[in-house]
Amino acid sequence: MSITSNKSQHAFGFGSPATYRIVIQGVLSAEWSDRLAGLSIATTDPEIGPPQTTLEGRIHDQAELNGVLTTLYGLHLPLLSVEKLQEETSVGGPE
């Protein structure tokens, strides 16, 4: 078995910081923000329909994103969407 590199794989910036929006089904308290990479947490009004919670903010790399998703999985909260909104580019080198 061989592993080949595909240029399209590199277009996603696998290790650079980016802003993400994650939507889950259910209610998640804002108290979870610190455990979830400091993402902002907002829940829709349950009177409008089934409650959904949106988490949004800067995630440093894929490892941190994996940690957030693993935490949500552990809480048994169904994942509805994960969207990469904006990738940050480094102008002055590492922070």
pLDDT 10s digits, 50-68:
899 999 999 999 999 999 9
In this structure, are residues 70 and 35 in contact, taking their beta carbons and an 8 Å threshold? no
Which domain range does residue 76 map to? Answer: 15-87
pLDDT tens-digit map of 15-52: 789 999 999 999 999 999 999 999 999 998 878 788 99
In a domain, 69, yes or no: yes
CA triplet 64, 16, 26: central angle to 5 degrees? 40
Domain count along the chain:
1
Say what the pLDDT of residue 87 is. 81
CA–CA separation, 41 vs 20, rounded Å? 12
Q: Is residue 55 part of a domain?
A: yes
What is residue 1's predicted lDDT score, i.e. its pLDDT? Answer: 52
**More confident: 12 or 30:** 30
Residue 71 belongs to domain with CATH number:
3.30.70
Q: Which residues contact 43 (CB under 8 A, 6 or more apart)?
A: 27, 28, 51, 52, 53, 54
Task: Choose among 58, 62, 29, 59: nearest CA to 43.
Answer: 29
